[in-house]
Structure 1
Amino acid sequence: MSGAGGSRRLLLFGASGSIGGAVSELFRRQGWQIIAVTRGNPIPETGLHWDPLDEADLAGRKGLAAFAPFDAVCWAQGQNCNDSVYDFNIAAHNDMYRANVLYVLASMHHLVRAGHLAKPARLCLISSIWQNIARQNKLSYSVTKSALHGLVLSAANDLGRDGHLVNAVLPGALDTPMTRSNLAPEQLEKMTDSTQFGRLPTLQDVASIVHYLCSEANTGLTGQFIKADLGFSDVRII
């Protein structure tokens, strides 16, 4: 245990988002110290400003080092957009790739090379069920999330020498105000009725999986992709 008073430390990217916020809340309740990384204004007390894609951000790296080592890392940041082959834009796609893939890879690389991870550490990426199945008008999002599949497997393999465990959580459409505002009523009903649970998964469902994967209870899961979608991807009601 590496934090003050023996508490475990979670380095959390994307803490200001809905999933990151749920993860932060659950880990705090379990006694973890949360170090929240932002590219904007840092969160008071336990936050820091660091842009892993900016090699000149020496202040951010210095601030990161002050909190290390980390028992667990969660990447809950990222971008989303609607596009397809018909209206594909190279610049917009590159922005998505930087936010969803390069950001993770660059930060993971620095954490490993700088010796900022406890041994062993548990690393968890938030991806999406749309890395494995296709939804209309989600080209760049699906492509960049699919790239995380290779990143997780490669990292799980390479970082095994230090005992690190690397996994991903794949949420489906979650029961949040944003989901309800972005989906038409008929779309929402179709997704809700796609399993016999009769509901959408929640932010708490996702956070609970992340917590297990990052906890000391996880001693052998690595290179895995855990779907948090109540079976939406794999079950059919006939």
Structure 2
Amino acid sequence: MKNPFSDFRSVPCEKREIPLDKILKDKEEMMSRILEGYLKLVEEEAKDLVWLVEHSRVAKAYTAAVENLKGLPFDQDHIEEFCAELDSSQKIPYIISGPAGIYISAMINLSPESRIVIRVEDFDRTFHFLGYRLSAGKTLVIKGNAGEFIGASLSGGNLVVEGSVGGWCGAGMIKGEILVTKYAGQNTGEFMRGGQIHVEGRIQGVGRSLLGGKIYERGKLIVPPHGHHIRVI
């Protein structure tokens, strides 16, 4: 008698990867490469016991960050996840505030999106140098209070801070626009050459060496004073 179940033999089949699993795997691999690039930058910068804010030092760190990130197809989700890693991860043995913000800024400038939103209000740490060299055609929205040197060397981009910023906001900016919805610290606009800074709250202090541009406090033009021009020094 023929076995009635003989026609139901197991047929070998190729194991298929669930799309969600692949997405998560790809994202994890991308974050590993982003973190690897950041750690490489920090290890180089940490050779000195104290990280100093100097124009040449900042520019060098930014160039290194761009080089480490080249060819990585990241987007805004990766940028926010990287911020979260900096805020709480055990994978990062040490964090230097300056290079951290510069690395994030490099990611923003290299990302394909023209508009990036970062919710710093969700994090415990303070981020500095966000918006560094933000280029024309890019808009960065920072939700929450940010640190120092926000929008430094702005290069035509549009930066909105929904909160307050520390000192040196817009330092060395070339062109573009910065809007701060609350307060700004000391040396706002120091060495700026062009563009505009609008602060809807109070400005603790304006930079002494301004080469161009305009600064508004509560809607009023304060630099240059009405009817005056900034003298190149």
TM-score, with normalisation over the residues of structure 1?
A: 0.25
> Normalized against structure 2, the TM-score is what?
0.25
Q: Which has more radius of gyration?
A: 2
More helix per residue: 1
